[in-house]
């Protein structure tokens, strides 16, 4: 296992969309490991390292709220560089989470793209410095970009918090991560999602590795 970190993240709203919902957005009960990894990568990521989520602590009670949001029907692309919001606006309902807070335990592993100057100590210290100062490459978000995430590095001993979900709760199948398969030119050819059966025991979710799911 590489160098481990603990990061507290929180926000007013979050939406970790279930892929089986095609039109309306419905969130998973808690943050997905994939979304948690995205928050860490927003603070510090390089091709030389790969973040691995070990466990997720659910600090606040799980609370859903129905909201309606304006969205556009299409996405910007090379063929469609301009989008006219007034013509393509659609109002959709979303089932989102409210007042979320998590503690993410994770570590990073070195990849085959590491260089001679890439050492675990270097990247570990860079992450600590950036997290302590609240720095990030882009603002991390909780599932959707409009739901910004606040974060705080946790250092020192164990962090005590109320066990708001005692016992065992089966959260069903949840997105673990996505694996991108690229060709020899570095172009993505296929994106393969991987799922796992998530169980929350006394507010803690143990996250398996991709090869252990």
pLDDT tens column, 150-159: 999 999 876 7
Which among 3, 27, 1, 24 has a CA at the least distance from the CA of 13?
27
Higher local confidence (pLDDT), 37 or 178:
37
Global pTM?
A: 0.86
Query: Rounded to whole angstroms, how far apart are CA atoms 199 and 50?
Result: 24
Average pLDDT, stretch 32-50?
96
How high is the pLDDT of residue 159? 74
Res 188 pLDDT > 90? no
Res 201 pLDDT > 80? yes
Over residues 65-115, the pLDDT tens digits come to: 999 876 666 665 656 566 665 666 677 789 999 999 999 999 999 998 888
Res 27 pLDDT > 90? yes
- Enumerate residues 6+ apart whose C-beta is below 8 A from 141: 38, 39, 147, 148, 149
Domains contained in the chain, CATH given: 4-212 (3.30.70.2660)
How high is the pLDDT of residue 178? 84
Which residue(s) pair with 98 in the sheet? Answer: 13
């Amino acid at each position: 296992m590489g160098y481990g970190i603990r990061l507290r993240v929180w926000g007013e709203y979050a939406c970790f969309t279930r892929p089986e919902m095609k039109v309306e957005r419905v969130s998973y009960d808690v943050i997905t490991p994939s979304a948690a990894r995205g928050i860490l990568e927003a603070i510090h990521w390089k091709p030389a390292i790969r973040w691995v989520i070990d466990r997720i602590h659910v600090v606040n009670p799980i609370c859903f709220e129905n909201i309606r949001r304006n969205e556009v029907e299409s996405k910007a692309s090379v063929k469609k560089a301009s989008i006219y919001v007034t013509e393509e606006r659609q109002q959709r309902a979303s089932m989102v989470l409210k007042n979320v807070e998590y503690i993410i335990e994770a570590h990073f592993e070195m990849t085959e793209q590491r260089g001679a100057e890439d050492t675990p100590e270097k990247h570990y210290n860079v992450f600590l410095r950036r997290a302590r100062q609240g720095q990030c490459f882009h603002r991390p978000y909780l599932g959707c970009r409009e739901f910004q995430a606040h974060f705080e590095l946790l250092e020192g001993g164990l962090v005590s918090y109320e066990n708001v979900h005692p016992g065992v709760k089966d959260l069903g199948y949840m997105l673990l991560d996505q694996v991108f398969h690229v060709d020899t030119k570095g172009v993505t050819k296929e994106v393969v999602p991987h799922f796992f059966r998530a169980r929350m025991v006394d507010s803690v979710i143990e996250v398996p590795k991709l090869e252990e799911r």
